[in-house]
């Protein structure tokens, strides 16, 4: 049995007062736990934006493509892509990467489905455990 590991983090952050695309994209990524204060040059944000741009044009990118466009090392790009894959936002196919959906709304909808499936699995297992514990008189 293969296990798929996905880590979805939701951080409740106040929406930006300033209404501009850059601030809202930063908020979205921060709310998903993708961007943190250790990322001084916002390289994860930049990788995410590059993947978003390629999704809008229907393309996928290699880590070398991203590194060249953003003037980052391939290692840095791979590090951030792995976090984006782990969160369920990015798909790796062959030697290329792409966002799981071609727009942000669809991407958030997909994450919501993942969370709902996980909650249902947790609920089912909790019910089974409760039944086993009830039979043991613990």
What is d(CA 38, CA 45) in angstroms, rounded to the nearest whole number? 12
Return per-residue pLDDT of the chain as tens, 138 residues: 455 678 888 889 999 888 899 889 989 988 988 887 677 788 999 999 999 999 999 899 999 999 999 999 999 999 999 999 999 999 999 999 999 999 999 999 999 999 999 999 999 999 999 999 987 765
Is residue 48 classed exposed, middle or buried when 0-12, 13-18 and 19+ CB atoms within 10 A define those classes?
A: buried
The pair phi, psi for residue 64, each rounded to 5°, is -65, -40
CATH fold of the domain at 21-136: Arc Repressor Mutant, subunit A (1.10.10)
* Domain ranges within the chain, ordered by starting residue: 21-136
Sign of CA dihedral 38, 22, 103, 49: negative
């Amino acid at each position: 049995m293969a296990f798929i590991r996905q880590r979805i983090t939701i951080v409740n952050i106040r929406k930006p007062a300033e209404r501009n695309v850059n601030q809202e994209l930063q908020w979205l990524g921060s709310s998903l736990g993708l961007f943190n204060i250790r990322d001084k040059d916002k390289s994860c944000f930049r990788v995410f934006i590059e993947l978003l741009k390629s999704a809008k044009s229907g393309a996928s990118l290699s880590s070398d493509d991203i590194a060249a466009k953003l003037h980052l090392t391939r290692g840095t790009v791979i590090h951030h892509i792995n976090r984006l894959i782990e969160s369920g936002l990015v798909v790796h196919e062959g030697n290329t990467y792409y966002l799981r959906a071609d727009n942000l709304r669809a991407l958030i909808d997909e994450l919501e489905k993942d969370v709902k499936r996980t909650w249902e699995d947790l609920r089912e297992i909790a019910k089974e455990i409760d039944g086993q514990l009830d039979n043991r008189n613990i």
